Amino acid sequence: MQLWLIPALPLAGFVINGVFGRRFSKAVVNTVAIGSVLLAFAWALKTVLALGETPISEHNFDWIVAGGFRVGCDFAVDRLTAVMLLVVTGVGSLIHIYSIGYMAHEGGYYRFFAYLNLFMFFMLTLVLAANYLVLFVGWEGVGLCSYLLIGFWFHKKSATNAGNKAFIVNRIGDYGFSLAMLLIVVTFGSLDFNTVFAAAASKPQGLLSAIAMLLLVGACGKSAQFPLYVWLPDAMEGPTPVSALIHAATMVTAGVYMVARSFPIYLHAPVALDRVAQIGLFTAAFAATIGLAQNDIKKVFAYSTVSQLGYMFLGLGTGAFSSGIYHLMTHAFFKALLFLGAGSVIHALSGEQDMRNMGGLRKKIPVTFWTLMCAALAISGVPPLAGFFSKDAILVAAYHHAPWMYWVGTITAGMTAFYVFRAMFMTFFGEYRGHEHPHESPAVITVPLAVLAVLSVVGGFIRIPVWLEKFFPAAEAPEEFSLVVISVAAGLIGIALAYVMYIAKPALADSISSNLGGLYRLVYNKYFVDEIYDATVVKPVVAGSRVVLWRGVDAGLIDGLANGVGSRSQGLGGWLKLLQSGNIRSYATWVLFGSVILVVALGLVGAVR
């Protein structure tokens, strides 16, 4: 079963487009890029269909052989991988097709597709990996592609800054991941999933907790959980397809996948598992509050992504691993749709992103409107759309873990519904407040939107928990009807509230924001977290680098050493220069001196003899 083909196809696309793309016409670039991803999807589908009870594994070559420690380039497909594979390649293909239309008028066309293909390669490597090191290769690679794609419009300072920020914050997470890997090697002697997970039960809990916490640090960096979430909103500087693919559907889910994959370690380290749930829940609520007040449509969805990722972590942390993965899948559908739809709106308005300049677009771009409505209903947890099933499963599990988590989660669900529908109402209803000429997007854009809309509606019926039943230990909580009702009600209340504030009584929104002036400003400015980081972390580091390391060590010490050697030699030379007086008689005196010493030496030698 040629598993390596799955990542290799996009890699080939990257190489071809990257090297020759400049000379290709747009049609050729499209064919190469999208063809490679579609082929990868087809192959992945074939692999999944051929999957039976036992995982398919493939050992490609020995990478590291160092004494007793071996790491191979191993791929494996089991049920968890299957879900991820199909989501990544499927949603990825749709977004590739969408990009044809979205990036049609942009420069660097071939470069964009080349980077997208490279990203697919790394993401698929990450998903297919059968040991932590290959996973880490994919992990780092998607971070790199994220940086490249966020800073795609590299002429814009804000874009390159955002790219840097994403990469650096990711790096902090990667540091935790690397430490975790080192600990795993020390504890288990191998990085292979099978070896590690089989031996997990017998290792001391302290070690396992440490490993689990460090892995969590890595996951927080990649999946934008508190406190390492700050890069995701800024990542909206990249083109919208990038936001959809990387920062909604696939890359940010890598952390969730990694934690889910490592579930044997987490099951034996309950303290760490608890932390996962707490961080997830806190992030979900925290990000939702920020999303309430944002005016940029992409920023709203970005904070929504952070919040939904928090939900996934909550699911994982309460032991409902398959629910977390379930939500990962449904979230990929409706979040990608939300972003792509937002992209369609932005494209229709020729680049406008501020919702205060939108409105009344319902009639002007109907396809976009209806598909986005599906996504909005899905994310709000309205049955029977996809989001309802997955979010509900998580909330029920949360209740059985700790009831207060359920209540916070439900309120957050309400907030989710509120801000999404606020966005919908501000964008599509009322009077148009801008100056552009909105026009519907071409088919290459609307068809993927439609496909994703269908998936958002019916995707809930792909019963992932059942599919993954044998994989994860059965920790799924039984459904309780009352809990379901309450959470659905919360969603509906959110929608209603948004309707009231933005359609029925528009003035209400402004009056509330001015009455709660301080609170509003706090939320609008994202709780000044970025500013706090800047003051406490960034500035000291930069100051330290500049003053201590640059001026002190580099210029002072090292340059001083190098220059000092030079000037000392000069000084010494100047000294020795004085010996050369030009006076023959003093030279003669020196000669006499030397000869006296010689005589003494010879005499002594003679005396010894």
Partner 1 sequence: MDVILFLIFAIIAVVCGINVVVQTHPISSALSLIGVMGSLAVLYLLLGAEFIAMAQIIVYAGAIMVLFIFVIMLLNAGAEAKRGRSLMAQLLGMPLLVAFLALVSYFIQRLYPSTTLVQFGAFKGGTAQNVGRALFTQYLLPFEVTSVLILIAILGAIVLARKELE
Partner 2 sequence: MNGVPLTWYLILSAVLFSLGIAGFLFRKNIITVFMSIELMLNAVNLTFVAFSFQLKQVNGHLFAFFVMVVAAAEAAVGLAIILTVFKNLSTLNIDEVNSMKN
Which of 482, 583, 607, 608: binder of partner 2 (CB under 8 A)? 583
Measure the CA–CA gap between 13 and 5, rounded to whole angstroms. Answer: 12
Does the protein bind partner 2 through residue 205 (CB under 8 A)?
no
Does the protein bind partner 1 through residue 601 (CB under 8 A)?
no
The smaller minimum CB distance to partner 1, of residues 206 and 594, is found at 594
Q: How far is CA 250 from CA 210, 307, 331, 605, in A?
A: 27, 15, 10, 86
Which of 584, 605, 607, 608: binder of partner 2 (CB under 8 A)? 584
Which of 481, 577, 606, 607: binder of partner 2 (CB under 8 A)? 577
Measure the CA–CA gap between 394 and 317, rounded to whole angstroms. Answer: 10
Nearest Cα residue to 1 out of 34, 45, 63: 45
The binder of 603, among partner 1, partner 2, none, by C-beta within 5 to 8 A per type, is partner 1
Measure the CA–CA gap between 297 and 339, rounded to whole angstroms. Answer: 9
Taking the CB of residue 506, how many other CB atoms lie within 10 A of it?
13
* Closest separation in Å from C-beta 575 to partner 1: 16
Does the protein bind partner 2 through residue 507 (CB under 8 A)?
no
Measure the CA–CA gap between 127 and 332, rounded to whole angstroms. Answer: 15
The smaller minimum CB distance to partner 2, of residues 553 and 599, is found at 599
* Closest separation in Å from C-beta 155 to partner 2: 60
Does the protein bind partner 1 through residue 518 (CB under 8 A)?
no
The smaller minimum CB distance to partner 1, of residues 557 and 599, is found at 599
Q: Is the dihedral of CA 117, 90, 333, 475 positive or negative?
A: negative
Taking the CB of residue 441, how many other CB atoms lie within 10 A of it?
22
Does the protein bind partner 2 through residue 570 (CB under 8 A)?
no
Which of 204, 206, 506, 603: binder of partner 1 (CB under 8 A)? 603
Taking the CB of residue 607, how many other CB atoms lie within 10 A of it?
7
* Closest separation in Å from C-beta 588 to partner 1: 7
Measure the CA–CA gap between 564 and 51, rounded to whole angstroms. Answer: 69
Measure the CA–CA gap between 288 and 284, rounded to whole angstroms. Answer: 6
Which of 52, 67, 582, 606: binder of partner 2 (CB under 8 A)? 582
Mark the segment that binds partner 1 (CB under 8 A) among 87-95, 420-428, 474-482, 584-592: 584-592
Does the protein bind partner 1 through residue 580 (CB under 8 A)?
no
Does the protein bind partner 2 through residue 607 (CB under 8 A)?
no
Does the protein bind partner 1 through residue 105 (CB under 8 A)?
no
Q: How far is CA 94 from CA 14, 101, 281, 417, in A?
A: 18, 12, 31, 26
The smaller minimum CB distance to partner 2, of residues 550 and 587, is found at 587
Burial of 26-41, coded b for 16+ CB within 10 Å and e otherwise, reads eeebbebbbebbbbbb
The binder of 582, among partner 1, partner 2, none, by C-beta within 5 to 8 A per type, is partner 2
The binder of 599, among partner 1, partner 2, none, by C-beta within 5 to 8 A per type, is partner 1
Mark the segment that binds partner 2 (CB under 8 A) among 35-43, 247-255, 467-475, 587-595: 587-595
Eight-class DSSP state of 76: E
- Across 113-211, the runs of DSSP E, i.e. the strands, are none
Mark the segment that binds partner 1 (CB under 8 A) among 73-81, 268-276, 397-405, 585-593: 585-593
The smaller minimum CB distance to partner 2, of residues 350 and 586, is found at 586
Measure the CA–CA gap between 226 and 180, rounded to whole angstroms. Answer: 19
The binder of 553, among partner 1, partner 2, none, by C-beta within 5 to 8 A per type, is none
Nearest Cα residue to 211 out of 198, 223, 200: 200
* Closest separation in Å from C-beta 567 to partner 2: 19
The smaller minimum CB distance to partner 2, of residues 511 and 581, is found at 581
Structure tokens belonging to residue 226: 């508190």
Which of 49, 435, 580, 609: binder of partner 2 (CB under 8 A)? 580
* Closest separation in Å from C-beta 605 to partner 1: 11
* Closest separation in Å from C-beta 607 to partner 1: 7
Q: Helices (H), strands (E): how many in the chain?
A: 27, 2
* Closest separation in Å from C-beta 564 to partner 2: 24
Does the protein bind partner 2 through residue 606 (CB under 8 A)?
no
Please name the residues in contact with 419: beta carbons below 8 A apart, sequence gap of 6 or more. Answer: 288, 291, 292, 294, 300, 303, 304, 498
The binder of 580, among partner 2, partner 1, none, by C-beta within 5 to 8 A per type, is partner 2
Q: Is the dihedral of CA 260, 262, 267, 269 positive or negative?
A: negative
The binder of 577, among partner 1, partner 2, none, by C-beta within 5 to 8 A per type, is partner 2
Measure the CA–CA gap between 369 and 366, rounded to whole angstroms. Answer: 5
Measure the CA–CA gap between 75 and 56, rounded to whole angstroms. Answer: 8
Q: How many residues bind partner 2 (CB under 8 A)?
A: 11
The smaller minimum CB distance to partner 1, of residues 66 and 607, is found at 607
The smaller minimum CB distance to partner 1, of residues 571 and 603, is found at 603
The binder of 600, among partner 2, partner 1, none, by C-beta within 5 to 8 A per type, is partner 1
Measure the CA–CA gap between 59 and 44, rounded to whole angstroms. Answer: 17
Structure tokens belonging to residue 279: 């961080």
The smaller minimum CB distance to partner 1, of residues 19 and 592, is found at 592
The binder of 596, among partner 2, partner 1, none, by C-beta within 5 to 8 A per type, is partner 1
Q: How far is CA 498 from CA 87, 180, 314, in A?
A: 31, 44, 26
The site for partner 2 (CB under 8 A) is made up of 577-578, 580-585, 588-589, 592
The site for partner 1 (CB under 8 A) is made up of 581, 583, 585-586, 588-590, 592-593, 595-596, 599-600, 602-603, 606-607
